[in-house]
Structure 1
Amino acid sequence: MKKLLTAVVAASLSAAVVANDMVPGKAQEQPILLQGGTLHTVTNGVMQDTDLLFENGKITAIGANLLVPENARVIDVSGKQVYPGLVALDTTLGLIELGAVRATNDTSEVGQITPEVSGHTAYNPDSEVIPTIRYNGITHAEVVPQNNLIAGRSSLLQTDGWTYEDAAEALNVGVHVNWPRVGLNTSWWERRSPEEQRKENAENLSKLKAAFTDAKAYFDAKQANKLNGTDVRWEAMTGLFDGSSKLFVHANDKRQMDAAMEFASEWGFDLVLVGARDAWRIADKLAANDVTVVYGEPYGLPTRHDEAYDQAYSTPAALAAAGVDFSIAYSTGWWDIRNLAFAAGNAVAFGLDKDQALAAITIKPAEVMGVADKIGSLDVGKNASLFVSQGDVMDQLGQDVQMMFIDGAEVDLNNRHNQLYQKYRQKPE
């Protein structure tokens, strides 16, 4: 009876939280002119007292005192900040609702080799979490399968839409690999002996290499028209061999990253290192080899006794100084990615140039996902995916996102957190 009651309660909770009541924005129906704002273009610096016009979902003009088109909606944004939408990389947004409720967790598939899995197919556009992260300026999020050796493929989705098809910006951009551990786990909960750990590490690396060998054999057979059937696993990896897809390797240890770089170089893959906690230790090597980094450890304690207390915070500045092409992310986050802009702002406090910090959460992630021609900056011809804030978006105290548009459609910024805030602020009365 106790188990039955627990199951009923869990099911009730999951049913209650899987759907928000915010209606996705309607397609833009008239020209919209934002007048007199401070435009953070990312690609062309900061423009004071500048107008921005967008029509049919595209930015059509930027400048001072723009002519008002017929039937245009004019919005005075004087004294306010206008930004391109923020792009959150390496998230599980829409794949998990409550960590304690298994029924709401669709982050991973059964098995170790599952490249055929696509993150967007399990995406829940009605998640209560999505409106809360929009409220902090995030218009796009990369949805990434988790845990397995070859976890699957990621997709970039807009944070407003009825379905994943509705929200799709770029589907199946790259294959994600969790690089096998190279060291020993010395945590108190580890029950395996050092010998058992080393054996499993070696076995996982062997499985990974075997999978790529099989995938390449499949690709070669397909190119020669000698396939006897379709294998969905290797079919999902063909883009790696013809250059249409990227290899995303999740690794934090320097030794893992070194091994992944050697592996990608051997195969000729376009490599993106994700997580990359130790990237500061090999920054010059990363820059020399043109390896893109999605730095996913912007907060945290030192991982070694001899590391500086601020290592996690100062790493973006170190990467920038070395010339590494990097983005800032909140690795494997969902509700906590709402703090993405603040992580970038924190990196500024520890030495990163402010313009580089903004680029690391806008245009740089857009480049990683192959959509920099559409989003990531305020430029004529790009999609009108942007937001208006009363203050600096990277300042936790000053930021106040007041309006958002995705492809020109105005987004409802209401959310569950705001509703609860409005409710309980009345309680003392």
Structure 2
Amino acid sequence: MKQLIIIIYCLVCWAAIQAQEDVYPAKGYAGKLFLTNGTIHVGNGQVIENGTIEINNGKIVQVGTNITVPADAKVVDVKGKQVYPGMILPVTDLGLKEIANGVRGSNDFQELGEYNNSIRAIVAYNTDSKIINTLKANGILLAGITPQGGTISGSSSVVQLDAWNWEDAAYKMDNAIHLNMPSFISRPNRFAILTGTQQAQPDPTKEALNKIDEIKTLFRQAKAYLQETTHKETNLKYEALKGLFNKTQKLFVHADQVKQMLIAIDFVKEFGFDVVLVGASECFQIADLLKLYNIAVVLGDEHALPATEDDDVDQPFKTPAMLQKAGVLFAMNDEHGESRYRNLPFNAGTAAAYGLTKEQALQAITLNSAKILGVDDKTGSLEAGKDANIVVSEGDLLDMRTSIIIHAYIQGREVSLENKQKQLYERYKYKYELK
């Protein structure tokens, strides 16, 4: 029996080794690098034809058309290609959840309990996730790693997607606290209806309001605690909320219903928090209010059904244009569990077919995301002084037919576009002698 266990253990280890693709984080590039002759989409609405980007030690020095290229400089000619800022996935469980609804040992995205203010997603981020490389191959270079569950899930961090460990990956740590707003709608159990075992449901509005009072009490107590100059005992739950009050963190409120979003506006009025709505499928109904209170939005899946039966069938496609028209700062996201987030650019492409211009749609997955995550001083657009987070595509980045990524740079390092799926594709081409 002991020998059998040893054999099984060895086979499992061998399979794990075989499953590792040979993709390594890129080494840093010191010195000057020029990308020349490309169509440059700056990310702020500007497009430069036949332009050049000068990079020095990972930073963008200048972008334009009349840039002198030294004879001894490293040059990448991208003539006929489209050059974009690296895309940003703003709210995701990437690196925290490997197999959806699968192996518990591969998932570390949720903590027990209702109020996990002090939980930090960054320390659980797995840079060896097989999913990360599939995102880079589609031009997604940064992500907001976000915990889930409970009423307050904890803090998220921004990571760059080419790193050996979470310390290397960290781009901006603990930039936001995430709150899951209680629902004002009671959804009946379909199976209970079918079996005739359905029980009377409690009043969802009453329960939601009680929970909101509980949340506000927590914030009021934290505010009083943080106003004290000395403490007899340190309260980690209150200390973790300090950034909300001194504006070094934002409060990301996960909410879809209008009533939930109105409560989020109350948080702005009473506590002065910088609030961002996440999901927000009904936000188009109160776009003017969101603009008035300077509340940003991270939209959920673009390729989804309408939130309610009264909405237009194409409402998810039209919402970005409605927010743009109202002047609301918004970013687009991809939460799809099966495609695992790689379709972010194509979500933006759909929005471009329903009212946004192509450059506005691009901004919704680059510069707008950077602004909402608080990293727009370093990334989100191809401007002097920012990190050289750059994607080069054969064609339109937002069109799945022509978006073929040929180069990707993170902080000036050209990163590998290989991934497990590409390797499997090549493996079976070899097996069946396909060219």
What TM-score, normalized to structure 2?
0.91
* Paired AA for residue 23 in structure 1: Y
Aligned to 2:212: 205
- Counterparts of 2:227 and 2:15 in 1: how far apart (Å)? 45
- Distance change (3 Å), C-alpha of 1:275 and 1:75: same
Deviation at 1:322, TM superposition (A): 1.5
Quote the residue 2:383 is aligned against. 379
Provide the rounded CA distance (Å) in 1 between the counterparts of 2:38 and 2:225. Answer: 54
Moved more, 281-290 or 412-421: 281-290
Q: Deviations over 1:348-400 (max 9, x none)?
A: 11122211111100001111111111100111111111111101110010000
Say whether the 8 Å CA contact 1:145–1:152 is kept in structure 2.
yes
Gaps of 5+ in 2: 193-197
For residue 402 of structure 1, give the secondary structure of its aligned residue in structure 2. Answer: strand
Deviation, 1:84, is: 0.6
Equivalent-residue separation in structure 1 for 2:260 and 2:108 (angstroms): 27
- How many residues of Structure 1 are paired with residues of Structure 2 in the alignment? 421
| Correspondent of 1:388 among 380, 388, 392 | 392
The equivalences for 1:61-80 within 5 A come to 61-64=62-65, 66-69=67-70, 71-80=72-81
Query: In structure 2, how many angstroms separate the alpha carbons of the residues matched to 1:31 and 1:146?
Result: 42
Any runs of at least 4 consecutive aligned residues in structure 1 with deviations exceeding 6 A, and if so which?
11-14
Question: Relative to structure 1, is the Cα distance of residues 16 and 284 closer, same or farther in structure 2, using a 3 angstrom cutoff?
Answer: farther
The answer to whether 1:402 aligns with 2:409 is no
Deviations, residues 288-347 of structure 1 (Å, cap 9, x unaligned): 222111111312112322221111111111111122111111248695211000000011
**Distance across 2 between alignment mates of 1:357 and 1:279:** 18
Matched residue type, 1:193 = A
Partner of 1:107: 109
Report the more deviating stretch, 163-172 or 399-408: 163-172
Do residues 169 (structure 1) and 171 (structure 2) align?
A: yes
Residues 176-204 of structure 1 show CA distances to partners (whole Å, capped at 9, x for unaligned) of 10011112113415766321655643443
Residue 36 of structure 1 corresponds to which residue in structure 2? Answer: 37
Distance 1:14 1:259 in 2: 50
Structure 1: which 5+ residue stretches go unaligned?
none
Q: Give me the whole-angstrom Cα distance separating, in 1, the residues matched to 2:233 and 2:43.
A: 48
Q: Tell me the distance in 2 between the aligned counterparts of 1:377 and 1:364.
A: 9
CA distance in 2, matches of 1:159, 1:25: 11
Contact (CA 8 Å) 2:180, 2:255: kept in 1 or not? yes
Letter in 2 for 1:89: P
Contact 2:45 2:360 in 1 (8 A): no
Aligned to 2:304: 300
CA–CA separation in structure 1 for the residues paired with 2:407 and 2:377:
23
Question: Is the CA contact 1:176–1:249 (under 8 Å) kept in the aligned structure 2?
Answer: yes
Q: Distance in 1 between matches of 2:242 and 2:17?
A: 40
Out of 323-332 and 127-136, give the one that drifted further.
323-332
| Partner Cα distance (2:189, 2:42) in 1 | 46
Q: In structure 2, how many angstroms separate the alpha carbons of the residues matched to 1:400 and 1:56?
A: 27
Map 1:231-270 → 2, pairs under 5 A: 231-270=235-274
Task: Quote the offset at 1:277 in angstroms.
Answer: 0.6
Q: Taking structure 1 as reference, are residues 268 and 15 closer, same or farther at Cα in structure 2, changes over 3 Å only?
A: farther
Question: Deviations along 1:88-144, whole A, 9 cap, x unmatched?
Answer: 111011001112111111111111100101111100011111000011111100000
Q: Does structure 2 retain, via aligned residues, the 8 Å contact 1:52–1:63?
A: yes
CA RMSD across the alignment: 2.5
Q: Is the 8 A contact 1:106 1:122 kept in 2?
A: yes
Tell me, in whole angstroms, the C-alpha distance in 1 between the residues paired with 2:18 and 2:142. Answer: 21
What TM-score do you get using the length of structure 1 for normalisation?
0.92
1:200/1:386 Cα in 2 relative to 1: closer, same or farther (>3 Å)? same
Assess if the C-alpha contact under 8 Å between 1:92 and 1:332 holds in 2. no
Pick from 187, 197, 200: which aligns with 1:193? Answer: 200
Q: Counterpart in 1 of 2:357?
A: 353
Q: Deviations over 1:202-230 (max 9, x none)?
A: 44333322321222222122xx22x0122
Counterparts in 2 of 1:229 and 1:192: CA distance versus 1, 3 Å:
farther
Cα separation, 2, equivalents of 1:149 and 1:17: 40
* Residue matched to 2:195: none
* Alpha-carbon separation, structure 2, partners of 1:76 and 1:388: 11
CA distance in 2: counterparts of 1:38 and 1:147, whole angstroms: 43
1:278 aligned onto 2:276: no
Separation in 1 of the partners of 2:140 and 2:15?
25
After superposition, the Cα gap between the structure-2 partners of 1:335 and 1:18, relative to the gap in structure 1 and judged at 3 Å, is farther
Please state whether the residue corresponding to 2:208 is helix, strand or coil.
helix
1:5-55 residue CA offsets vs partner (Å, 9 max, x unmatched): xx989x879956996531101111232111100000022611111111101
